[in-house]
Structure 1
């Protein structure tokens, strides 16, 4: 039976993976190994330099005051949030669409996509598919570029024949990328339509990554909503739809409007 104590010369607790000779008394760890045997001797020597038990001094005063990360909810300005009745109507419409999508999937009658999809990793090509080259033109304008701008090319609307042919992994990628594009250039009606379509096709239960992503999107939308100049802004209804769906349908109630 092996002893509970362990010394540098007692290696019976660990099974030997490779045969090697003992480390010689004149072993010099500063000399690079010239053979496989010398390399193993270096490994054994380095292992023996490690302490059997390592402890760390803990400041117990800090343990008494644990820090917490709290997400700050951006409250809608007065008159900007949808009424409870409007939220219920939005949820009913969204739920009906989800039911229709589920029926199409179960019937195996999904129409073929009218467009060819880029690689799941090709963010730039997916951006062109969703927005045409308007995103590129906006970036050039934002950078005050003097380069000649190409003519505007329109993007694809998120038709069911398109989004239903995107695998769940692709949907999650698109949500992540759309959130990044939203942070860079703000909100557009076209992006609101894509968000709605992607959320409608996102299967439950959500992965932790997807849940975190849609929460992030809802918080960005809430922040953008609070910066709108008036309650008559054309983006307000679209932002409210996304916030309502994430909060109410996907059970992120802490983000919901009262």
Structure 2
């Protein structure tokens, strides 16, 4: 570093040396702080202003990039929802989210039934049983059980519905954790109405802007719904409206536009 350049740079640690300073041996360790700083200055002055690396292109390895592009399964003919239907669902969903946000405090203050014990945050199996019921989770048996608030229903067996008094108690960490648990379970399982209710409720409580983990989770959910829909053979299949709705909300409301259905 020449003296002209050195004069233009601010001295953050100015060090003054007397005229009788001994010549420094850069090969040895400094004996005091002033000597250390002077060694740094001398080393910097010996460095060239421009350094060019000599690289042999033949020795460079060609980078290998693995790109996994998982597109959305196209809806079978006649099963793709219209654009107006999708827009209406987004509008309705937005209204639901606003009502939940407005009344969260009031609903979360309601007393839960004695038999309703929410699992610990890290109890993944407990949350599966809580949401989907023992009939579905124990032994991985699938049971299309219609869950209705009627006398004598055993929610431990059929799962607790996503009552507003429940979902209003969930903070964002729990909402995302539970959404990931149910989406992971759904990856190799069939769709059941109880699952659809919980997924809708959790999406309604998921705050924007989304963090990366939430982006990944809802995209996985949308792809799984599209995968199941691609195997449907009739527009009268009872699963179709729910699958279309979840795909629509992920793509249109949460702005995952590459996953949106594009009606012909």
Q: Is the pair's TM-score, using the shorter chain for normalization, greater than 0.5?
A: yes
Residue number among 222, 225, 230 corresponding to 1:226 in the alignment? 230
Contact 2:72 2:223 in 1 (8 A): yes
Q: Is the 8 A contact 2:121 2:174 kept in 1?
A: yes
Alignment counterpart, residue 58 of structure 1, candidates 34, 57, 60:
60
Q: Check conservation: 2:71, 2:259, Cα contact below 8 A.
A: no
Secondary structure in 2 matching 1:224: helix
After superposition, the CA RMSD in angstroms is 2.8
Q: Which residue in 2 is equivalent to 1:157? A: 161
Quote the Cα distance in structure 1 between the aligned partners of 2:245 and 2:142. Answer: 29
- Determine the structure 2 residue equivalent to 1:131: 132
CA distance in 2, matches of 1:205, 1:156: 29
- Residues 132-165 of structure 1, C-alpha deviation per residue, up to 9 Å, x if partnerless? 11223452589xxxxxxxxx81211111111110
Q: Which has the higher contact order (CA 8 A, sep 6+)?
A: 2
Partner in structure 2 of residue 69 of structure 1: 68
Most deviating of 107-116 and 206-215: 107-116
Mark the CA change 1:89 to 1:170 in structure 2 (over 3 Å): closer, same or farther: same
TM-superposed deviation, 1:104: 1.7
Counterpart position of 1:88: 87
In the alignment, what sits opposite 1:235?
239
Equivalent pairs counted in the alignment come to 198
Q: Distance between the aligned counterparts of 1:77 and 1:11, measured in 2?
A: 76
* Contact 2:136/2:158 (<8 A) preserved: no
Gap regions ≥5 residues in structure 2: 1-23, 31-55, 144-155
In structure 2, C-alpha distance between the alignment counterparts of 1:2 and 1:182, rounded to whole Å: 70
Task: State how 1:1-258 maps to structure 2 within 5 Å.
Answer: 57-59=59-61, 62-63=62-63, 67-105=66-104, 110-112=108-110, 114=112, 115-137=116-138, 139=140, 153-258=157-262
| Structure 1 residue 116: Cα displacement | 2.4
For structure 1, the residue ranges without an aligned partner over 5 or more in a row are 13-54, 143-151
